[in-house]
Structure 1
Amino acid sequence: MNDRLKALADAGVSIWLDDLSRERIETGNLAALVAESGVVGVTTNPTIFAAAISKGERYAAQVKELKASGADVKTTVFELTTTDVQNGCDIMRPVYDATGGVDGRVSIEVDPDLAKDTDGTVELAKRLWERVDRPNTLIKIPATVEGLPAIAATISEGISVNVTLIFSLERYRGVMDAYLYGLEQAAANGKDLSSIYSVASFFVSRVDSEVDKRLADDSPLRGKAAIANARLAYEAYEEVFGSDRFKALAAKGANTQRPLWASTGVKDPAYPDTMYVSELVVADTVNTMPEKTLEAFADHGEVRGDTVHGTYDEARQVIADLEAQGIGYDEVVELLEVEGLDKFEASWTELLETVQTELDKA
């Protein structure tokens, strides 16, 4: 295993790959990344699947079969993506077994057009869980206001969840509360809490992208907001999962909901390409990386120990300094959530169009 990636894993960061394709599965690439790069999990989204399906012929036979059976485009998407996630889960299963269920996970997302439909989200989460039928799957649910009760309801059914699209600290606290409430309901329903896992995907780079464009080119605050926000999220995580409320659940076997740093590919070439990895090294976290970021860290990433503890006051000062310059935290994170949902929906439309093209050709 690569020494730099091993040092990252030894520091308590689970390395997940933000990509999946049938080509990665069938060529042995994913298995190689597990063996050589310490990849212990996989996340997916509609954009990732659209790119995979449009690039290769590996989906053609299944598309042809589905078309012959009369499947419409949404059914075809459901079958193609759940098949990939099933196979990805099988490759990751040894990691899942070795880590007692903590890692070895593959995430699949509910349809983004259900982001504001609580009941529809819960129903689809159950269908995806049953169809993939692997204990190491995670169902991705966006952290919208409507998503919070869906997260709680899904957890209460004993289904493991990756909560995605978190930008604000307030919403993150709502996510953690939904998780704990779901666990409490699961316990009341007689579920085995030790089998329920969850991560909370806190988006990083997009915060800097939005804040930096409001700052002067020479501002010392450029490139500071995203890391400060994520570090304060970890402070909130420690508070919630150190509470008496969680301790009561832990006594029944409950697991913490680990923070997952998402959107960790650097978008501004002025910044180090491993910045959102090296500056967020702390135990009990996940960093899901595009392959480009994974390769960059393997080549020249640095692990300088824990880069989160001891930074909370500095992080709060960054947010205060931005507010003093008229850059309102609440306004920024609210805008990012709206834009994030728009991007989710656009990527879902792209996936439907890609699959429809393949159906037309089949």
Structure 2
Amino acid sequence: MNPRLKALSDAGVSIWLDDLSRARITSGGLAELIKDSSVVGVTTNPTIFAGALSNGADYAAQLTELGDVSTAEAIKQLTATDVRDACDLFAPIYQSSEGYDGRVSIEVEPGLAHDTEATTKQAAELYKLVDRDNVLIKIPATLAGLPAIEATIAAGISVNVTLIFSVERYRKVMDAYMAGLEKAAAAGKDLSKIHSVASFFISRVDSEIDKRLGALNHPELAGKAGVANGLVAFGAYQEVFASERFQKLAAKGANLQRPLWASTGTKNAAYPDTLYVSDLVARGVVNTMPEKTMQAFADHGELGEPIDGRAAEGQATLDKIAAAGVPLAEVFDQLETEGVDKFVASWAELVESVASAMKR
């Protein structure tokens, strides 16, 4: 077991890999990461699957078996198979952690991000298709996504809420989670079986804000927004889940909706390549990392100062950035729009790759 990643795990951070492909599963590579790198979960998204399915040879046999189906149906079957097989690989961790870890995510089609009804319907379809208790259905935290999150949780389906950039939206995500739990409880569902993570994006915030700070001639504030935003988010998480509202749900067996740090690969080469891992350590959080970031931490990563109780520090940094002239609300809205657009573009690549493979 790598000692640096084990230390991160021992500090309470659940290490999830931000990648999945059939080759990772069949080669034993994913099993090796579980064994040697303290990996206890996997996240996927349309970009990841577009990359994985561009290697048609890994999926040719299943495409032949599927026969004459639509491209959309083929994509569902191919990705669900990978997620199902990964879920089986993580099943022992899922069972030993009582659902806390051992999770694998699959995302609803990004083109549905602004359609509540279609998102809710597809979330249920994907859950049924994967047919594993340790799957998480990824739903974006768009305004239309919020009621879909609530409805999916109310149906007893565990959810990974994705594309969260602002603390304001994060609070609405936590509210949707608790509203869903309240409906699930009223329907007599076992709340202890429902889990959720809230994926708060980090490096993309720095990328956009750094660009704006450069134009405003405030380089001294560069590289600080992403972590500061995370500190404020963690403070909001602690506040909300200490509330009387959640304590009533916890008494019925409800689980915390854990913060998940996403977009943790450093995009600016001038920053430490483990920045968004070392500086966001707290017990009970998830950090989902690209393999490159995981390898960097395994080689030279160090645990930074724990983030408990540092929300005011984070807010002070964000206040300085706002005072420098960066309109934070505008930035967060822009990042959400771009996030959805990027996944839509990746989905188009995925459709093209699968369509070409089907023709072959």
> TM-score, with normalisation over the residues of structure 2?
0.98
CA drift at 1:305: 4.8
- What's the RMSD between the two structures over aligned residues? 1.0
Q: Does the Cα contact within 8 Å between 1:23 and 1:56 map onto a contact in 2?
A: no
1-side partners of 2:235 and 2:282: how far apart? 11
Q: Does the Cα contact within 8 Å between 1:273 and 1:293 map onto a contact in 2?
A: yes
Aligned ranges 1:305-344 → 2 under 5 Å: 305-306=305-306, 308-344=307-343
Q: Does the Cα contact within 8 Å between 1:11 and 1:305 map onto a contact in 2?
A: no
Deviations 1:151-193 (A, max 9, x none): 0000000000000000011110000000000000000011000
Segment of structure 1 superposing worse, 53-62 or 109-118: 53-62
Aligned ranges 1:252-291 → 2 under 5 Å: 252-291=252-291
Q: Residue 179 of structure 1 aligns with which residue?
A: 177
Q: Does the Cα contact within 8 Å between 2:233 and 2:311 map onto a contact in 1?
A: no
Q: Residue 129 of structure 2 aligns with which residue?
A: 131
* Helix, strand or coil at the partner of 1:57: helix
2-side partners of 1:46 and 1:359: how far apart? 19
Aligned ranges 1:1-362 → 2 under 5 Å: 1-66=1-66, 68=67, 70-216=68-214, 219-306=219-306, 308-361=307-360
Q: Does the Cα contact within 8 Å between 2:123 and 2:152 map onto a contact in 1?
A: yes
CA drift at 1:313: 2.1
Q: Does the Cα contact within 8 Å between 2:280 and 2:304 map onto a contact in 1?
A: no
AA aligned to 2:244 is D
Segment of structure 1 superposing worse, 342-351 or 243-252: 342-351
1-side partners of 2:268 and 2:251: how far apart? 45
CA drift at 1:50: 1.4
Q: Does the Cα contact within 8 Å between 1:18 and 1:291 map onto a contact in 2?
A: yes
* Helix, strand or coil at the partner of 1:141: strand
Q: Which runs of 5+ in 1 are unaligned?
A: none
* Helix, strand or coil at the partner of 2:136: strand
CA drift at 1:345: 0.7
CA drift at 1:303: 1.1
> TM-score, with normalisation over the residues of structure 1?
0.97
1-side partners of 2:288 and 2:147: how far apart? 25
| Sequence identity percentage | 61
CA drift at 1:47: 1.3
1-side partners of 2:183 and 2:356: how far apart? 43
Deviations 1:291-328 (A, max 9, x none): 0000000000001451x124222211111111111101
AA aligned to 1:243 is S
Q: Which runs of 5+ in 2 are unaligned?
A: none
AA aligned to 1:125 is A
Deviations 1:197-242 (A, max 9, x none): 0000000000000000112377211000010001100000000000
2-side partners of 1:339 and 1:50: how far apart? 18
